[in-house]
């Protein structure tokens, strides 16, 4: 995976681990959301109603092409005009040019063609964080810490190098060759390696491990092509290890394909219960989805973690579980994305993602938050408004519409019209968030220290099972001091008070990253279990959830025992 992993940076001010992915994830949410394949629908309506407008538009383009004083690219004009036209509709209908369409689809496909490295740009240089297991780079012997100086004739050093430059250079059609100029640690002269690009898988399940003898943890990062198969395999593996209760983590999951979400819901919900339905202006797009198979985990306590980054397909799954009193929802109110897009590939490779219906949970809730057509900017700022009114920290700040009250199967009150409100609210933990920590992440100090530590101790640590690794790696205050000195050398002014406030978090995150670098080669299913085993210990939503299984088990007894808590 040619990817630049950027730790805590989600809301630029807070720089916490739960917030770093939000810009990327919201981009996926706003451009994609819940997707239904275009082949799922058929037929078109006549163009009589738009014929006059089309003729006018064509006439204006022709006049510009023939008579405008300067040369213009009419293709650019067309793209711009389409984009501006769609802004008059809902915030999720979108036009993607051919390049952007390929990039957006790759987010939900099961992989891409490339050389198989995770990289990081540090000091104007591209470093290999890790070669991905089984990929061309690992096969060629590329190591963590290697510098990639050049790809073919494209230099990858200097102030102008950025992610897009690296992606463009490394990715390409499978079977094609690419020549890398590599400088390894301890070597004076670079060497050249020729690789053959191959298919690099991407994964939807970040982690699946046993917390204790009966509690499983499973984190899904998106509802991509391969998401359900990965999920089902992981769920089965946990059951084989004796799982009796499960934490399903959907935080910062922006959505994806609708049927992956309903298939997952079917693994938890028995009988032939309704899971979700869609309703649009055209009844061709009206569908109802029901449970239809005997799921792997229809019995057993289930806790689902959500937050403001959980959107679309995540809300379908969480909403179905909540409405049928099958899962206890923990965290913060979800994004509120309840519009369904049909992706239509156009003749030149561009794509129109057209909103064709709304989806509703089994109880009849529309989770779509309010929006004003043509005011997409205000819509995108809605998460900032939640922050300003204190919703991330105080449950009573959640503004549910009292006119949109619904009941679950057992009579519990739930709300529509603005995301999924959790059954148990857990505030965002900002106790460790400081400006100094943000600067450490901005300079990649924590990542680089963890990578150097892993490389310096790799031979010893790779021999250890995780339990022994967990005991053996405990960063001392002297080691953290060395990190801050490195940061000072990189221009980050030391702030003792802020460092002490963030110190425990820094220690945990650094150790988690070290675990990731040490164990990643053994995680051939794409999971980062060792990273999350450590990182989750400082996650207040996760740790609180582990204490709430009694609440989850009480769901079967109805609303008197279970309600919104804070």
**Per-domain boundaries in the chain:** 114-201, 205-340+355-430+550-557, 431-538
CB atoms within 10 A of CB 300: 17
pTM, entire model: 0.83
Instruction: Check: CB of residue 340 under 8 Å from CB of residue 316.
Output: no
Q: Which whole-number Å values give the CA distances from 380 to 23, 105, 331, 386, in the listed order?
A: 11, 22, 21, 11
Question: Considering only the top CATH level, what class is 114-201?
Answer: mainly beta
Beta-strand pair 215-220/245-249 = parallel
Q: How far apart are CA 242 and CA 239, in angstroms?
A: 5
In the block, residue with structure tokens 């099972």? 465
Q: How far apart are CA 105 and CA 84, in angstroms?
A: 22
CB atoms within 10 A of CB 59: 10
Please report, in angstroms and rounded to a whole number, the separation of the first and last CA atoms in the chain: 40
Quote the pLDDT of residue 188.
Answer: 86
Q: How far apart are CA 191 and CA 177, in angstroms?
A: 16
Q: Which of 219, 337, 544, 551 is catalytic?
A: 337
C-alpha angle 329/333/334, rounded to 5°?
A: 90
What is residue 518's DSSP assignment? Answer: H
Examine the residue annotation and report whether 312 is marked as an active-site residue of this protein.
yes
In the block, residue with structure tokens 């150097």? 452
Q: How far apart are CA 411 and CA 325, in angstroms?
A: 9
Q: Which residues pair with 274 in a beta bridge?
A: 290
Q: Which of 226, 312, 357, 502 is catalytic?
A: 312
What is residue 325's DSSP assignment? Answer: T
3-class state of residue 221 by DSSP: coil
What is residue 370's DSSP assignment? Answer: P
3-class state of residue 318 by DSSP: helix
Quote the pLDDT of residue 381.
Answer: 79
Q: Which whole-number Å values give the CA distances from 78 to 53, 87, 136, 350, in the listed order?
A: 14, 14, 40, 12
Q: Which of 146, 323, 423, 539 is catalytic?
A: 323
Quote the pLDDT of residue 559.
Answer: 52
Instruction: Check: CB of residue 208 under 8 Å from CB of residue 527.
Output: yes
Examine the residue annotation and report whether 124 is marked as an active-site residue of this protein.
no
Quote the pLDDT of residue 13.
Answer: 31
Helix 258-266 to helix 227-240 angle, to the nearest 10 degrees? 20
Q: Which whole-number Å values give the CA distances from 99 to 81, 104, 349, 406, in the listed order?
A: 18, 9, 8, 43
Quote the pLDDT of residue 566.
Answer: 47
Quote the pLDDT of residue 530.
Answer: 97
**CB contact set of 282 (below 8 Å; sequence gap of 6+):** 356
Instruction: Check: CB of residue 379 under 8 Å from CB of residue 335.
Output: no
Q: How far apart are CA 7 and CA 525, in angstroms?
A: 22
Examine the residue annotation and report whether 323 is marked as an active-site residue of this protein.
yes
Instruction: Check: CB of residue 414 under 8 Å from CB of residue 322.
Output: yes
C-alpha angle 437/442/444, rounded to 5°?
A: 95
The parts of the chain modelled with pLDDT lower than 50 are 1-32, 38-43, 561, 563, 565-566
Quote the pLDDT of residue 523.
Answer: 65
Instruction: Check: CB of residue 343 under 8 Å from CB of residue 328.
Output: no
Q: How far apart are CA 10 and CA 76, in angstroms?
A: 32
Quote the pLDDT of residue 36.
Answer: 59
Quote the pLDDT of residue 442.
Answer: 81
Tell me the residue ranges of DSSP E strands in 312-375: 328-331, 339-345, 351-360
What is residue 110's DSSP assignment? Answer: S
Query: For the domain with range 205-340+355-430+550-557, which CATH number is right: 3.90.226.10, 3.30.1490.20, 3.90.550.10, 1.10.10.10?
Result: 3.90.226.10
Kindly compute the dihedral angle of the four CA atoms of residues 533, 537, 540, 544, in this order, to the nearest 10 degrees: 80
Instruction: Check: CB of residue 226 under 8 Å from CB of residue 204.
Output: yes
């Amino acid at each position: 995976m040619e990817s630049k992993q950027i730790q805590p940076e989600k809301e630029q001010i807070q720089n916490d681990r739960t917030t770093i992915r939000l810009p990327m994830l919201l981009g996926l949410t706003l451009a994609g959301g819940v997707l239904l394949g275009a082949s799922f629908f058929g037929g078109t309506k006549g163009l009589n109603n738009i014929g006059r407008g089309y003729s006018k538009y064509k006439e204006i383009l022709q006049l510009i092409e023939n008579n405008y004083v300067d040369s213009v690219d009419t293709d650019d004009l067309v793209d711009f005009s389409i984009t501006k036209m769609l802004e008059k509709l809902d915030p999720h209908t979108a036009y993607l040019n051919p390049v952007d369409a390929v990039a957006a689809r790759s987010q939900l496909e099961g992989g891409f063609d490339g050389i198989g490295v995770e990289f990081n740009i540090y000091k104007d240089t591209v470093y290999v964080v890790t070669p991905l297991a089984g990929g061309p780079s690992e096969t060629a012997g590329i190591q963590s810490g290697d510098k990639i100086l050049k790809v073919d004739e494209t230099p990858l050093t200097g102030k102008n190098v950025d992610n897009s430059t690296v992606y463009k250079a490394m990715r390409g059609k499978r079977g094609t060759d690419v020549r890398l100029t590599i400088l390894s640690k301890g070597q004076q002269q670079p060497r050249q390696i020729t690789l053959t690009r191959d298919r690099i898988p991407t994964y939807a399940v970040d982690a699946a491990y046993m917390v204790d003898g009966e509690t499983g943890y499973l984190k899904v990062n998106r509802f991509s092509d391969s998401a359900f198969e990965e999920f089902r395999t992981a769920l089965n593996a946990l059951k084989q290890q004796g799982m009796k209760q499960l934490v399903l983590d959907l935080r910062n999951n922006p959505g994806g394909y609708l049927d992956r979400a309903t298939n997952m819901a079917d693994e938890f919900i028995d009988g032939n219960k309704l899971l979700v339905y869609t309703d649009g202006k055209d009844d061709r797009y009206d569908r109802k989805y029901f449970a239809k198979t005997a799921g792997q985990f229809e019995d057993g306590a289930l806790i689902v973690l959500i937050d403001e980054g959980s959107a679309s397909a995540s809300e379908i799954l969480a909403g179905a579980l909540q409405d049928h009193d099958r899962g206890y929802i923990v965290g913060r109110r979800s994004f509120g994305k309840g519009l369904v897009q049909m992706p239509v590939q156009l003749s030149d490779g561009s794509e129109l993602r057209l909103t064709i219906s709304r989806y509703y949970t089994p109880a009849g809730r529309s989770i779509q938050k309010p929006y004003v057509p043509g005011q997409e900017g205000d819509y995108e700022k809605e998460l900032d408004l939640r922050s300003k009114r204190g919703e991330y920290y105080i449950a009573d700040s959640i503004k549910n519409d009292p006119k949109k009250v619904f009941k679950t199967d057992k009579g519990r009150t739930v709300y529509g019209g603005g995301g999924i409100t959790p059954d148990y609210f857990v505030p965002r933990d900002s106790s460790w968030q400081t400006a100094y920590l943000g600067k450490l992440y901005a300079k990649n100090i924590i990542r680089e220290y963890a990578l150097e530590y892993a490389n310096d101790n790799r031979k010893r640590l790779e021999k250890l099972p995780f339990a022994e690794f967990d005991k053996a790696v405990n960063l001392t205050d002297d080691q953290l001091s060395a990190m801050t000195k490195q940061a000072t050398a990189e221009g980050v002014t030391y702030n003792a008070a802020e460092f002490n406030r963030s110190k425990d978090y820094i220690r945990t995150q650094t150790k988690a990253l070290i675990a990731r670098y040490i164990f990643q080669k053994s995680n051939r299913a794409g999971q980062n279990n060792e990273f999350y085993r450590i990182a989750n210990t400082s996650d207040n939503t996760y740790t609180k959830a582990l204490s709430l299984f009694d609440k989850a088990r009480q769901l079967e007894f109805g609303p008197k025992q279970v309600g919104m808590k804070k």
